[in-house]
Each structure stands twice: as structure tokens, then as C-alpha cells.
Structure 1
């Protein structure tokens, strides 16, 4: 099995992330003002965005190349991205993904800051969507 490296993408390389998403027909988009995390083998095989928001961080854009799924890449990518984060991390996902995120330490139906709650409400108008939170790790 090929070694997978998990790292923060440098600022100048952010277009590579959008190229990765497009290559897999994913609707995800890299957010320039976010921390862009990638899993690499010879090329990018997974990615996510971690954006600072009021009171914490918002995890978006988690996507793993379908040929590389079921290998723990998403879990390790999340771990790398949230390592050292001392504020809550929120995400919105389809209800079917609740168990996956709970196994990563996220809890369902957190109290969200107003701006995040409003955003979730807007997103949930067009598709099923739930909120999850990873509380800051102490010590």
C-alpha cells in the first residue's frame, strides 16, 4: 500500500485542490481563506477545508477519491486538520454520515453560533442536512 501524507496545502497551491474536486465531478470548492488540508500519495487523494468562524472552525469540502475510499483517509485527514485546534469544529453533513462523524468524536445537534445556525437553516431548505460538533480536546 502506498504511504499517504497529510499536510496543509501552501497558499500558492490552492488551485490544485479545485482541480482535484473538478476531476472527480465533486461540487466541493476550495475556500482561499481556509486552511486547505490534503492527503497525498503521488497526487492528491483527499482534501478538506477548515475555515475559522466566530467561536470556532467550520470543516467543509471533505472528499476522498472514490478509488481510495474505505482506507481510513478521511478519518486521518480530519485528525491532521483538527490536531491542535483549541476551539469547537462544526460541520454540516447528510444524516447518513452521522455515524461516521460520531466515530471521529463529533456530536450530533450542537448549539451553534447564530451565524452558523442561519447557514444550516439555509442549506437544509434544499437538502437533508444536520450539524455536528467536535469539542476542543483538553490537555
Structure 2
């Protein structure tokens, strides 16, 4: 995961990071984009991703958008995300480009 100045980063675990996530504000001010969420395979299914999603939802104003593989949709649905085809233009063009190499869906949590 590569974070820039505009990103907000969450991390869990000490001394080793077990999970991390990163969101960035959209340039049009229409919410945030969850650019990455990672949980170490050795600690998956312990609720870390869900806790991070909940904390991000509390901290971020507006909608939170993300792209994921279809098999991960249930995790996000459980935390208030819905599949969407109505994306801000900046994300629609990214999704179109990313779909050239991966099977991805777009989800949004409207807050």
C-alpha cells in the first residue's frame, strides 16, 4: 500500500501491522475513495476489516466508494455498502481502466 499526503491511513497491530486501510478524498468533494484494505491472512476472520470499515465510516464525511472483486461484496454489504453503477466521473474512469485487467465491482456507502 502506497499512501500520499491526501490519504487517511488506518493500521491495526503491534509490533507488526495486521491490517491496514487507506482512503482519499475525491477531488470534487463528493466523499472518499477506499483505495485499499488489507488484512494479514494469519488474522483474517477475526473482525479486523469490519472494525476498520466502521472507524472509517465514523471519521469520513460523505459517501465512501470502493472497487473490489465480486466475491468480497458480502463483507462490504455487511457494513452498509451497496453495489452501484452511478460513480463520480473521476472514479468511473478509474474503474473502466482497472476492469481491463481485473473483474471488479463498485460499491458505495452513502453514510
TM-score, normalised to structure 1, is 0.73
Q: Which residue of 2 aligns with 1:8?
A: none
Aligned length, in residue pairs: 108
Structure 1 residues 117-126 or 30-39, which shifts more? 30-39
- Show structure 2 runs of 5+ residues with no match: none
Deviation at 1:56, TM superposition (A): 0.9
Q: Map 1:10-29; keep pairs closer than 5 Å.
A: 29=1
Q: Which residue of 1 aligns with 2:16?
A: 43
SS of equivalent residue, structure 2 residue 59: coil
Q: Which residue of 2 aligns with 1:34?
A: 7
Q: Which residue of 1 aligns with 2:49?
A: 74
2:78 corresponds to 1:106: no
Q: Which residue of 1 aligns with 2:104?
A: 129
- Show structure 1 runs of 5+ residues with no match: 1-28
Q: State how far apart, in whole Å, the 1-side matches of 2:58 and 2:14 are.
A: 21
Deviation at 1:98, TM superposition (A): 1.0
After TM superposition, the runs of 4+ consecutive aligned structure 1 residues lying more than 6 A away are: none
Q: Which residue of 2 aligns with 1:63?
A: 38
Residues 59-94 of structure 1: CA deviation (Å, up to 9, x unaligned):
022001111101000000111122132200000000
Select the structure of larger CA radius of gyration.
Answer: 1
TM-score, normalised to structure 2, is 0.91
Q: State how far apart, in whole Å, the 1-side matches of 2:104 and 2:67 are.
A: 6
Q: What is the Cα-based RMSD across aligned positions, in Å?
A: 1.2
